[in-house]
Structure 1
């Protein structure tokens, strides 16, 4: 019995082994079956081939794609496990470079449900073909450099729940077809250039939970019936141009958690009565609008608020009941700066909060006692322009403090040493106070990790403070520091911005600046007493803005500036730099401001003789000031060709301000410009819209180059105090934006072109001290000028000069022309008369001569016969 069972067990075991072996052999001999369908793989491969990759990183998703492998196993691809259809394509940050064509293989993936191409360079328009992907539920194309209008075909994506087109350059209005997206829950279209009004069709999308349209160009009013969006949790339309009232139906949506309407033009907030259900609102941002009147009391009922921004609310110099904020126990962020109120903000109010981490009270009047204690762990405190005259001692216990702004107050004396013992302090702004020094040992600041320090516009003097190596931004302008620039600055290897302008520093520019060669982008040493050469090695290749104007520097400009490919602003005015014009600056592609005025540069502006390709072209230049040098020669006819910004009106904003958690790093670029006959200093960004050429005070000769007529955006043109000859060219009338024209103190001759009177913006002009003649054109902009604009031109006549033109104006010209024609006619008649009398006179003379000759021959014969 047992032996029978044993035989059966052995038999079954052998059968099982045989079956398993056979199965393995079958599997080994059968080629693997790909899940991916052939048409799907072809479409993906076609899509990949449409782009060239910007880099070949090892983790590049499409680098793993192989045409002979299962596309469902490729990185970024997800397939339906049953059908093999591609349902998800995720190439986020995939380094794709090239436009998305309407015939792209992408649109052959008809079964896609999720498409994510975020952070690729798809520069171009979004084709209508996007509407062919009718099964899409999620579409993410943020940061793809797309532009143009949004295609109306987006309305065909009826299954869409997420539309994320953040950070592109779309223009035009939001298409009404978006109203077809009934399943849409998130509409994310921030940071574009969309215009028009808020689309009413969005109110039909009752599934929406998030709308983000921040930083566009939308305008008009918000709909009054916003309550139809009953599931809305997030609504942000900040940084647009919306106006009118803030609809109460929006604020009272029960599900709303985040509401931001900041930086618009809203001028009215309706008072809200009893809120029927407890509000879930945690963020309410209304700052930067035109809201006025009392701060509404309903805010005290928003007890879940953690962030509240009412900055720039205009109370019309009324009073504020600050107790309205006491009910908001969960507040972490409170910005009530610039309330325009006569009420004084008592800092003791905030001793009752426990979680406050950011508090901005700037541009209000603030008071606090020396015994004040605030329990909240404040991380950022802004008290700029608060009429404070003493250092806030309550900060001693604020060990969580990271950012402190007490700029533009009246605080005197020395900065207390205990401030630098706050362990997290990183950003400090003392701009425009009356501080004189720092308490504690010389290295007191080195005990902290200060990254940004602004002590400009104070009365600091004595030894320059030793700063930690972590310092990234340092502004110490407009103080009384003296001696040499300390070389300890070179130990701050992370330094990106250094502003020491308007002090009393002497000596040379430290050669050790070469230690900052990779990161330093802003170097302003303006208006000190620095001398010597500018060392080549002191130039940081990362410079964006360099100002060493109004010092005593000499020698040639360092040619290492050619390596500063990002340089936009260069000002060396008021020094003793010499050498020829630095033509090599043309290699800087982003240069916008070039000021070389009041130095000793000499010679022509071009090589002599100019080699091939030597044309100086500054495509982005908008201020070119080389006045008061010793430059000479003739300007070539095409000298100003290729100066695109002055020709086309392309505006490059000058917005190099750096913000850190409520603090602005205060540095102000400065340029002295001659406009309308006077010199004045332009600060900050006040000169950013100017397009200026100033060649005055040199020794240029020859004609005014015709290529100037291409610079149609030019606002100021100053060519005075040179030796230009020839006539004032009529083509200057092409400069239709010109406001100031100075051609005085040259050798220009002939008449003033009447065409200049057509320049409607030309408010000031000067033609004095030339060799001009003829009547001053009448009835134009020219006649509005003072007589001093025409002095010392002996041949000029007519108003506003007191010298009259005989016959007056154009009539005198006509009379002179007629008289000249009469004289010419008389001369012609005289020549005709002479011609008429010439022929018979000649004949008569010949006859008389013949008679005399015959008579003389007869006389000689008679004499001969007599002899």
Structure 2
């Protein structure tokens, strides 16, 4: 009996020792495993800023940067290494951190696939891998992380489809896979995520229809499916998402009508359906969305009137209805029920009627964009009461400044009260007013003035020079007269100036040269005379110079050729003389050139033409459009002297080289080597000039390549050349003479 008692006592003592000692040893073992896992992590990744310097045996793992332990201080429960510029792949040893609740690696440079060992993180609630370079397919096993509440992968390079196993995330609150390369359709199983509040899978390659099961996400507060290729209708069942606050379905290929039931989503604060193919009417029920702050229906095919209820959404701040085919008038009290409205975009519709005076009751407006409609009547001077207004764009309507019941008022004077105004665009309205002296009263905030085709008459007032921060001034196609005011030189921020198509006259004032940042100068189709100001060549910022159709004369000053960065030049239809092309090679990046129209050259240059040109009994006339006619900002040329300039392209008669045309009447010949310049050879055209020495310079450039004539065994290839309109005493003789002289 004693022996039995002894053995029993020994067993009990051993068990007691195990219960006391083993937990300490086991926890130490687990802690050691966590330590080894993190040290392996450190080995695998690059740490350029040495953030992980204290990850070593010399300190407790719970004190390591980015690591946090559980309440007992025994296991790593949080690993947050966000925004540390770490690089490399995610090592499989991370899976050994089996007590991890949160793993946050966002805003680093990790890449590669996700290791399958992440499956071992069965306690994981937060997984944030956003803003990295992870790639590969979204693994199907990800659905086995049953404890996950936040799955955040945006701005990576994940591919493949959304696995149906996402339905296993029964506790998931946030699913954010925005901005990846995920394709395929949204699985029906997504409707099982009963606790989901945020669904953000925009900016992918998703296709197919929006599944009706999405309406089962009864807890959903944010749904963003923008910038995909989703098709079909917006499901009516979407009205079941009564907790939805934000819905982004814009930039897809959705069709059909906006569901009437959308008016049931009374919690909505932001609704984006723009840039789809939606049609029909805007549902009146949208007026029930009294919490709405943003409504975007732009770039669709919506028609009919704007529902009156929209004008009573007192929390609405941004309204995008532009680029539809909406009709009818604005409500007569438009603005009265919109005290918080800041940005109404209504341009490019078929809206008509008057702009109501009550628009100024929307006192927080920062912009008003009504361009491209059919508005009529008087521009309300109450617009000047909008003290926060920064942009006013009402172009391409039929708005005036007076009618039968009003004396003529000057809208510009009233707008000077808008002290924050930056952009003023009134173009293509029959305003028929003078520019008042009060234009100089605009605040320093004004940067853009565009009053083109408005029937503006009278002089440009001297006070225009007060607009110290003006960047762009466009007064084209009006009936302005008189000279350019000398105060124009005070516009020291001006980059773009266009005064084309007016009745301005006089000299090109040298004060223009004082505008150092000037990039584009357009003063064609006027009555300016005299020499081109030599100081224009000192405006090093100049990229476009358009002085055509004036009465400028004499030779172009040598300083002009200092404009080495200029892209476009139009000096046509003037009275310039001399050889221009001999200096054109200085303009290394030129992409558009027209300086021949009606520019007259001296007699000694015409004598050269008689001796040098003879095209098989064709009369040589005015040469039209010597133009390199691509728009500013197109393909840059390499060397104008070698005629590597990107210019107008058309099919050549009878075939041709790479679709590039010499559209020039009267048949002539040039050497076959001319065809060997690949894509770098382009149209040579010219415009309404008596050209003489010009041809000498031009053909020197055409027929010489690094000093070698372009002749191949003496064979000549026919080409079309338009020499239409040159004075009748000029007759062409032979290109052979010209080639020989070259």
TM over 0.5: yes
Question: What is the deviation of 1:377?
Answer: 0.6
Question: What is the deviation of 1:434?
Answer: 3.6
Contact residue 388 and residue 409 of structure 1 kept, 8 A = yes
Contact residue 184 and residue 208 of structure 1 kept, 8 A = no
Residue 685 of structure 2 is matched in structure 1 by 788
Question: What is the deviation of 1:393?
Answer: 2.9
The match for 2:503 among 630, 652, 663 is: 630
Question: What is the deviation of 1:282?
Answer: 1.6
The SS at the match of 2:545 is strand
**Counterparts of 2:464 and 2:238 in 1: how far apart (Å)?**
57
Task: Say which is worse superposed, 475-484 or 629-638, in terms of deviation.
Answer: 629-638
The answer for unaligned runs of 5 or more in structure 2 is 1-45, 56-62, 68-76, 402-409, 609-625, 627-639, 646-679, 703-720, 724-731
Contact residue 537 and residue 560 of structure 1 kept, 8 A = no
Is the aligned partner of 1:424 residue 2:273?
A: no
Residue 425 of structure 2 is matched in structure 1 by 547
Residue 323 of structure 2 is matched in structure 1 by 457
Residue 651 of structure 1 is matched in structure 2 by none
Aligned CA distance change for structure 1 residues 789 and 383 (closer, same or farther; 3 Å): same
Residue 740 of structure 1 is matched in structure 2 by 568
The match for 2:187 among 322, 333, 341 is: 322
TM-score by length of 2: 0.65
The SS at the match of 1:564 is coil
Aligned CA distance change for structure 1 residues 755 and 413 (closer, same or farther; 3 Å): same
Question: What is the deviation of 1:423?
Answer: 2.6
The SS at the match of 1:519 is coil
Question: What is the deviation of 1:251?
Answer: 7.6
**Counterparts of 2:469 and 2:93 in 1: how far apart (Å)?**
50
Question: What is the deviation of 1:453?
Answer: 1.8
**Counterparts of 1:249 and 1:617 in 2: how far apart (Å)?**
65
Task: Say which is worse superposed, 485-494 or 320-329, in terms of deviation.
Answer: 320-329
Residue 490 of structure 2 is matched in structure 1 by 616
The SS at the match of 1:797 is helix
**Counterparts of 1:625 and 1:305 in 2: how far apart (Å)?**
59
**Counterparts of 1:638 and 1:282 in 2: how far apart (Å)?**
64
Q: RMSD over aligned Cα, in angstroms?
A: 4.1
Aligned CA distance change for structure 1 residues 788 and 439 (closer, same or farther; 3 Å): closer
Question: What is the deviation of 1:791?
Answer: 4.4
5 Å matches for 1:138-177?
176=49
Residue 599 of structure 2 is matched in structure 1 by 770
Is the aligned partner of 1:596 residue 2:464?
A: no
Residue 340 of structure 1 is matched in structure 2 by 205
Contact residue 294 and residue 318 of structure 2 kept, 8 A = yes
Aligned CA distance change for structure 1 residues 591 and 797 (closer, same or farther; 3 Å): same
**Counterparts of 1:186 and 1:630 in 2: how far apart (Å)?**
72
**Counterparts of 2:522 and 2:552 in 1: how far apart (Å)?**
14
Question: Max radius of gyration: which structure?
Answer: 1
Contact residue 210 and residue 235 of structure 2 kept, 8 A = no
The match for 2:373 among 503, 510, 518 is: 503
**Counterparts of 1:449 and 1:534 in 2: how far apart (Å)?**
30
Question: What is the deviation of 1:207?
Answer: 9.7
Task: Say which is worse superposed, 797-806 or 588-597, in terms of deviation.
Answer: 797-806
User: 1:352-383, CA deviations, whole angstroms, 9 ceiling, x for partnerless residues?
Assistant: 21221111233411435546642441111122
Question: What is the deviation of 1:547?
Answer: 0.8
Residue 114 of structure 1 is matched in structure 2 by none
Residue 392 of structure 2 is matched in structure 1 by 523
**Counterparts of 1:630 and 1:250 in 2: how far apart (Å)?**
79
**Counterparts of 2:526 and 2:463 in 1: how far apart (Å)?**
20
User: 1:442-487, CA deviations, whole angstroms, 9 ceiling, x for partnerless residues?
Assistant: 5673264322222222233233133423222212212222232111
User: 1:595-614, CA deviations, whole angstroms, 9 ceiling, x for partnerless residues?
Assistant: 2111122333333xx7xxx7
The SS at the match of 2:473 is strand
Is the aligned partner of 1:643 residue 2:507?
A: no
**Counterparts of 1:321 and 1:525 in 2: how far apart (Å)?**
42
5 Å matches for 1:189-204?
none
5 Å matches for 1:622-701?
622-637=495-510, 639-644=512-517, 691-701=519-529
Aligned CA distance change for structure 1 residues 628 and 253 (closer, same or farther; 3 Å): farther
Contact residue 603 and residue 632 of structure 1 kept, 8 A = yes
Is the aligned partner of 1:536 residue 2:413?
A: yes
**Counterparts of 2:105 and 2:377 in 1: how far apart (Å)?**
57
User: 1:32-81, CA deviations, whole angstroms, 9 ceiling, x for partnerless residues?
Assistant: xxxxxxxxxxxxxxxxxxxxxxxxxxxxxxxxxxxxxxxxxxxxxxxxxx
Question: What is the deviation of 1:333?
Answer: 1.7
**Counterparts of 1:454 and 1:285 in 2: how far apart (Å)?**
30
Contact residue 290 and residue 314 of structure 1 kept, 8 A = yes
**Counterparts of 2:385 and 2:318 in 1: how far apart (Å)?**
19
The match for 2:642 among 779, 789, 799 is: 779
The SS at the match of 1:350 is helix
**Counterparts of 1:181 and 1:735 in 2: how far apart (Å)?**
59
The SS at the match of 2:513 is coil
**Counterparts of 1:710 and 1:178 in 2: how far apart (Å)?**
53
User: 1:168-200, CA deviations, whole angstroms, 9 ceiling, x for partnerless residues?
Assistant: xxxxx997465657678579xxxxxxxxxxxxx
The SS at the match of 2:210 is strand
Contact residue 765 and residue 785 of structure 1 kept, 8 A = no
Is the aligned partner of 1:377 residue 2:243?
A: yes
Aligned CA distance change for structure 1 residues 344 and 515 (closer, same or farther; 3 Å): same
Contact residue 312 and residue 339 of structure 1 kept, 8 A = yes
5 Å matches for 1:117-132?
none
Question: What is the deviation of 1:551?
Answer: 0.9
**Counterparts of 2:521 and 2:562 in 1: how far apart (Å)?**
15
Count of residues in correspondence between the two structures: 558
Is the aligned partner of 1:557 residue 2:557?
A: no
The match for 2:216 among 328, 347, 352 is: 352
Aligned CA distance change for structure 1 residues 282 and 420 (closer, same or farther; 3 Å): same
Aligned CA distance change for structure 1 residues 250 and 436 (closer, same or farther; 3 Å): farther
5 Å matches for 1:177-192?
180=53, 185=65
The SS at the match of 2:378 is coil
Is the aligned partner of 1:259 residue 2:128?
A: yes
**Counterparts of 1:401 and 1:336 in 2: how far apart (Å)?**
19
**Counterparts of 1:275 and 1:481 in 2: how far apart (Å)?**
51
Contact residue 306 and residue 330 of structure 2 kept, 8 A = no
Question: What is the deviation of 1:246?
Answer: 5.7
The SS at the match of 1:344 is coil
**Counterparts of 1:313 and 1:487 in 2: how far apart (Å)?**
48
**Counterparts of 1:694 and 1:584 in 2: how far apart (Å)?**
21
The answer for unaligned runs of 5 or more in structure 1 is 1-172, 188-205, 647-690, 814-867
Aligned CA distance change for structure 1 residues 434 and 178 (closer, same or farther; 3 Å): closer
**Counterparts of 2:460 and 2:734 in 1: how far apart (Å)?**
45
The SS at the match of 1:725 is strand
Question: What is the deviation of 1:208?
Answer: 6.9
The SS at the match of 1:555 is coil
Contact residue 567 and residue 592 of structure 2 kept, 8 A = yes
Question: What is the deviation of 1:750?
Answer: 0.8
Contact residue 395 and residue 429 of structure 2 kept, 8 A = yes
The SS at the match of 2:528 is strand
Residue 62 of structure 1 is matched in structure 2 by none
TM-score by length of 1: 0.57
The SS at the match of 1:615 is helix
Question: What is the deviation of 1:632?
Answer: 2.6
Is the aligned partner of 1:437 residue 2:304?
A: yes
**Counterparts of 1:226 and 1:723 in 2: how far apart (Å)?**
79
